[in-house]
A and B are shown apart, each in its own frame.
Chain A
Amino acid sequence: MDQQSPNTTEEALNAAFEARIAADETIEPRDWMPDRYRTQLIRMMSQHAHSEIVGMLPESNWITRAPSLRRKMTLIAKVQDEAGHGLYIYCGAETLGVDRAELVDQLLTGKARYSSVFNYPTLTWADMGVIGWFVDGAAIVNQTVLAKASYGPYARAMIRICKEENFHKKQGYEIIATLAKGTAGQKAMAQDAVNRWWWPSLMMFGPSDTNSPNTAELMRWRVKRKTNDELRQRFIDLTVPQAEAVGLTLPDPDLKLNPDTQHYEFGEIDWDEFWQVVKGNGPCNRERLQARRDAHENGRWVREAAEAYAAKHSRAAQSAA
């Protein structure tokens, strides 16, 4: 054995880890990783999982009032998907040695964050369309890149999720396209939803690169592959033509195509509003958290019943043996 001091060993492990990242290798749960890498991933993945779970709330609001059986079926399927996505990512986060009960507790006590966009209310049926189109569309832009993240379980969960998100985006856009070519009232409803969700959707990508405390570190470790601003730009470039195709406008007077760069330039995001919502003062923050707490508490008897059932069967199996 080498007579290395703990510090040198740590340095050697760190160097080996950085070399693996540089070589684009995938880091797996049992591999050595710096504490900071582990902590950052737990933070990012649990925040992502919480977003999927809280994201079910604004949509489940409209399941009973969907305008047709077809729309109701797709909305139920989509909300079920969000629950599944939450599970995939929680399971991925657990491979980092964190207890899921702990993560859920952080959500319910308000210690952990989730995407700010879910703190806005869903006022009309058109909001279901815009959420699928904008919010899931933004999620796809984000998650396609995260599917190449350096941490294996996270990347694999993202591949699975991306395959499913496309359905969400398409069903949303179909709702909007249908409303946009409907009556004047329906088109106005679609336009109103677009106006209300555009800016919160752009905020989903997180603070601007100049003001994002975690981006540089996550980029260096290849957890993130593109910055918040790069992803936001990609989403805008994809979405503007889609809005034009259905004859709707986006609520930004500064939005215009730069013919040289072929990118859309856009107006200033209201970061004060973003930070207000992140800090818990959005329109629905308290309501969303209360709904999650109620769901957790009201589901207690199901968990207890399942445990009792499993215990009874294990006793029966033992006495039969």
Chain B
Amino acid sequence: MASSASAGIGYEGQDGADKPETQWPLWEVFTQKDGGAPHEHAGSVHAADAEMALQNARDVYGRRGNVVSMWVIPSAQITASPSDQAGPFFDPGADKIYRHPQFYKIPRGLKGF
């Protein structure tokens, strides 16, 4: 079962899909701990718009400091890989050994190559 692109990252649950939305949209929050570090998922917040989502996210996930940048994105905008096919979907192709540097022979005696 592949997920449809519009399903977001799958908060619909098993019985929640047909229920009417009774609150503000959900946003996913990503925080960056230092300049140069990757933005990592911190959690989510509800907010009426992006600006409010950023403010709520700052209060909830940034109040201990140690955050230099923050992204928010509507949860519904995230398309996720099919969780039940993680194996085949991410098959690294272990048989393709030519993708690794050890596959290639270097003349003997060559140093610092």
Residues of A participating in the B interface, judged by any CB pair closer than 8 Å: 28-32, 35, 38, 80, 84, 87-88, 91-92, 94-102, 156-157, 160, 163-164, 306-307, 309-311, 313-314
A94, B26: Cβ atoms closer than 8 Å = yes
Question: A33 CA to B45 CA in the complex, in Å?
Answer: 24
- Chain A residues, CB < 8 A from B17: 97
Identify which of B14, B22, B49 contacts A38 (C-beta below 8 A): B14
B3, A30: Cβ atoms closer than 8 Å = yes
- Chain B residues, CB < 8 A from A311: 48
Given A30-B80, A91-B45: A98 and B52 interface contact (C-beta under 8 Å): no
Given A101-B23, A307-B48, A310-B52: A164 and B64 interface contact (C-beta under 8 Å): yes
Question: A94 CA to B84 CA in the complex, in Å?
Answer: 20
A88, B9: Cβ atoms closer than 8 Å = no
User: What is the minimal beta-carbon distance from B95 to any residue of chain A, in angstroms?
Assistant: 25
B63 at the interface (CB under 8 A from A): yes
Given A28-B83, A30-B3, A84-B60: A95 and B48 interface contact (C-beta under 8 Å): no
B38 at the interface (CB under 8 A from A): no
B16, A98: Cβ atoms closer than 8 Å = yes
Question: A30 CA to B13 CA in the complex, in Å?
Answer: 8
User: What is the minimal beta-carbon distance from B39 to any residue of chain A, in angstroms?
Assistant: 16
Interface size of B in residues (CB-CB distance below 8 Å): 31
Identify which of B14, B44, B49, B84 contacts A310 (C-beta below 8 A): B49
B74 at the interface (CB under 8 A from A): no
Of B16, B19, B49, most buried by chain A (CB within 10 Å of CB) is B49
Given A29-B9, A31-B84, A38-B14: A87 and B60 interface contact (C-beta under 8 Å): yes
Contact pattern, B 47-82, Cβ under 8 Å of A = 1, otherwise 0: 011011000000110011000000000000000100
Question: A29 CA to B48 CA in the complex, in Å?
Answer: 24
Identify which of B13, B44, B83, B84 contacts A91 (C-beta below 8 A): B44
Identify which of A32, A38, A164, A306 contacts B84 (C-beta below 8 A): A32
Identify which of B3, B15, B43 contacts A97 (C-beta below 8 A): B15
User: What is the minimal beta-carbon distance from B51 to any residue of chain A, in angstroms?
Assistant: 8
Question: A100 CA to B45 CA in the complex, in Å?
Answer: 11
A80, B84: Cβ atoms closer than 8 Å = no
Can you name the residue of chain B whose Cβ is closest to the Cβ of A97? Answer: B13
User: What is the minimal beta-carbon distance from B58 to any residue of chain A, in angstroms?
Assistant: 11
- Chain B residues, CB < 8 A from A310: 48-49, 52
Q: Given contacts A97-B16, A97-B17, A163-B64, could you give 20 more A-B pairs where the C-beta distance is less than 8 Å?
A: A30-B10, A31-B83, A35-B14, A38-B14, A80-B63, A87-B45, A91-B45, A94-B11, A97-B12, A97-B15, A99-B19, A99-B21, A100-B46, A101-B22, A101-B23, A160-B43, A164-B64, A306-B48, A311-B48, A313-B51
- Chain B residues, CB < 8 A from A157: 43
A99, B60: Cβ atoms closer than 8 Å = no
Question: A306 CA to B64 CA in the complex, in Å?
Answer: 25
B13, A38: Cβ atoms closer than 8 Å = yes
21 residue pairs of the A-B complex, CB under 8 angstroms, read A29-B11, A30-B10, A38-B14, A87-B60, A88-B43, A91-B44, A94-B11, A94-B26, A95-B11, A97-B12, A98-B16, A99-B21, A99-B22, A100-B46, A157-B43, A164-B64, A306-B52, A309-B48, A309-B49, A310-B52, A314-B49
B9, A30: Cβ atoms closer than 8 Å = yes
Question: A88 CA to B64 CA in the complex, in Å?
Answer: 14
Identify which of A84, A98, A307 contacts B63 (C-beta below 8 A): A84
Question: A160 CA to B29 CA in the complex, in Å?
Answer: 14
Question: A180 CA to B21 CA in the complex, in Å?
Answer: 52
Top 8 closest pairs, chain A to chain B, by CB: A97-B13, A310-B48, A97-B16, A30-B10, A310-B49, A30-B83, A101-B22, A91-B44
Contact pattern, B 83-97, Cβ under 8 Å of A = 1, otherwise 0: 110000000000000
Of B13, B15, B17, B23, most buried by chain A (CB within 10 Å of CB) is B13
User: What is the minimal beta-carbon distance from B105 to any residue of chain A, in angstroms?
Assistant: 40
Given A84-B60, A99-B23, A101-B23: A29 and B10 interface contact (C-beta under 8 Å): yes
